[in-house]
């Protein structure tokens, strides 16, 4: 069929505020952006500018122990996620939109084997049998580059390195072949060589599974070479948008220039060298 492609995700005027007693603080101040099917879009900005709250507001997930109110529209495949029933949202989370966070240890259960945790998610979402889920969990560990996956599935999270634990979380996130993966600082807790491996893994999975990727980071170096387009966030707003190359070549805002200046060294195409 011909016609203009409709974005997978169309966000318009998204706001989010924390309510504390009679005080309210708006931390996302009306932002708008699109993510097309299979596209990778970066969000970069200094710590505290509202990147994580933006991602959480899209998914209607308030941080533990807080009251978060949101506004605007979040059209996902034409359905406004801010309006659907919580039950519908529960199906969309994990199944159609999955998230990977910064700290893999706190997202894994220390007393269950890695394989059991993947099997649990697979069974919950697909109704697979125990043995099917077991097979699938080994397949997924293999897909994210865990060597000797059948044996390592019986290990506990503390027996894995930080990078391997992040691979496990990515395996869980992609287990149901989501349309969109939101990765919030997925490599910030990892050392530099492992960061590069995890980023390559995300790029490969996006290509192989045809997912869209929303990649959130405070570090422009992470975005370079990874995304089709970047939104620069400052104080709850998007202040600049462009391709990575265009922003590197000609940043319009002093703030964007400062973020770029923090990146160690880049080649002519804006990639880390
Ligand atoms: N649970 C919370 N309760 C109250 N304020 C919060 C909470 N989480 C984050 N904030 C505030 O919201 C703003 C945006 O935070 P966040 O989205 O986490 O920033 P970042 O861009 O680093 O991901 C910050 O000012 C932060 O202090
Ligand atoms: Mg954050």
**What is the per-residue pLDDT across 136-172, written as a single tens digit (0 to 9) for each?**
999 999 999 999 999 999 999 999 999 999 999 999 9
Nearest atom in ligand 1 to 25's CA: 5
Distance CA 168, CA 125 (A): 17
Closest ligand (CA of 184): 2
Domain boundary assignment for the chain: 9-111+156-261
pLDDT, position 204: 95
CATH architecture of structural domain 9-111+156-261: 3-Layer(aba) Sandwich (3.40)
For residue 233 the two structure tokens come to 């966030």
269 pLDDT exceeds 70? no
- pLDDT tens digit sequence for 201-215: 999 999 999 999 999
Tell me the CA–centroid distance for residue 223 and ligand 2, in Å: 15
CA distances from 124 to 129, 133, 154, 166 (A): 10, 10, 20, 21
**What angle separates helix 162-174 from helix 192-209, to the nearest 10 degrees?**
20
pLDDT tier at 185, thresholds 50, 70, 90: very high
pLDDT, position 4: 58
pLDDT, position 272: 57
- pLDDT tens digit sequence for 40-93: 999 999 999 999 999 999 999 998 889 999 999 999 998 999 999 999 999 999
Q: What percent of the chain has pLDDT over 70?
A: 95
């Amino acid at each position: 069929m011909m016609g203009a492609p409709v974005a997978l995700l169309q966000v318009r005027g998204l706001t989010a505020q924390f309510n504390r007693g009679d005080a309210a603080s708006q931390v996302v101040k009306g932002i708008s952006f699109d993510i097309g099917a299979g596209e990778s879009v970066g969000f970069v900005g200094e710590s505290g500018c509202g990147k994580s709250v933006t991602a959480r507001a899209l998914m209607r997930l308030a941080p533990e122990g807080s009251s978060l109110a949101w506004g605007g529209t979040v059209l996902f495949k034409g359905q406004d996620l801010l309006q659907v029933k919580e039950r519908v949202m529960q199906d969309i989370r994990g199944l159609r939109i999955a998230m990977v966070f910064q700290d893999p240890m706190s997202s894994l259960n220390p007393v269950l084997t890695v394989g059991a945790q993947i099997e649990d998610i697979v069974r919950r979402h697909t109704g697979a049998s125990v043995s099917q889920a077991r097979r699938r969990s080994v397949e997924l560990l293999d897909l994210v580059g865990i060597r000797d996956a059948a044996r390592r599935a019986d290990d506990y999270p503390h027996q894995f390195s930080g990078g391997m634990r992040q691979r496990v979380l990515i395996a869980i996130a992609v287990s149901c072949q989501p349309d969109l993966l939101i990765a919030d600082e997925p490599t910030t807790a990892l050392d530099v060589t492992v960061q590069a491996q995890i980023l390559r893994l995300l790029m490969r999975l996006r290509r192989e599974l045809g997912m869209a990727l929303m990649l959130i980071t405070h570090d422009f170096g992470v975005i370079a070479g990874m995304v089709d387009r970047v939104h620069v966030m400052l104080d709850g707003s998007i202040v600049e948008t462009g391709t990575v190359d265009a922003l590197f070549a000609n940043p319009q805002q002093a703030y964007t220039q400062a973020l770029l200046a923090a990146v160690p060294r880049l080649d002519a195409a804006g990639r880390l060298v």
